[in-house]
């Protein structure tokens, strides 16, 4: 089975993209693949911000990310993209902070790189 790494680029308001990411990840795991990590890049780093809250009748973004972390998937955000957008990288659980070079090293170890925008 394949070792998959995912880069996610969609903003917090792109609920369809986030639901696609969740379905893809769960399907890949169910088929026996490994998802070694999800890397947030560009506007996707806003998902790690602790400064937004959504009404209870909207998609609960933080719950989705926590459910992926609970599956043992490494969640990482790009430090440069986060700093450019004012995301507080000291308060971004369940995400880890890394550079693009670290993502490139992780991607080189994966069989497949899936990009979701």
69-81 confidence digits (pLDDT tens): 999 999 999 999 9
pLDDT at residue number 65: 96
Is the model more confident about 29 or about 50?
Answer: 29
Determine the average pLDDT of the residues in 97-113: 97
Q: With bands split at pLDDT 50, 70 and 90, how would you rate the model's confidence at 102? A: very high
Contact indicator for 52, 12 with CB cutoff of 8 Å: yes
Count the Cβ atoms, other than its own, within 10 Å of residue 27: 10
> Cβ(3)–Cβ(110) under 8 Å?
yes
The answer to whether 46 and 83 have CB atoms below 8 angstroms apart is no
pLDDT tops 80 at residue 12: yes
pLDDT higher than threshold 90 for residue 53: no
- State residue 49's pLDDT score: 92
Q: For residue 100, give both structure tokens.
A: 């693009």
What is the token pair recorded at 86? 């004012």
pLDDT more than 90, % of the chain: 90
Predicted local confidence at residue 55, as pLDDT: 79
Q: Is the dihedral of CA 16, 50, 93, 70 positive or negative?
A: negative
Half-sphere CA count of 69, side-chain side, radius 13 A: 14
Q: Buried b vs exposed e over 59-71: b needs ≥16 C-beta within 10 Å?
A: eebbebbeebbee
């Amino acid at each position: 089975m394949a070792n998959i790494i995912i880069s996610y680029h969609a903003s917090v308001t792109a609920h369809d993209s986030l639901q696609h990411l969740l379905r893809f990840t769960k399907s890949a795991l169910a088929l026996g693949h490994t998802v070694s990590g999800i890397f947030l890049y560009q506007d996707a780093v806003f998902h790690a911000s602790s400064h937004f809250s959504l009404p209870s009748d909207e998609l609960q973004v933080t719950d989705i990310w926590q459910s992926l972390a609970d599956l043992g998937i490494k969640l990482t955000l790009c430090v440069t993209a986060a700093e450019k957008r004012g995301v507080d990288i000291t308060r971004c659980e369940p995400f880890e902070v890394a550079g693009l070079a670290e993502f490139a090293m992780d991607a080189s170890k994966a069989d497949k790189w899936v990009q979701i925008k």
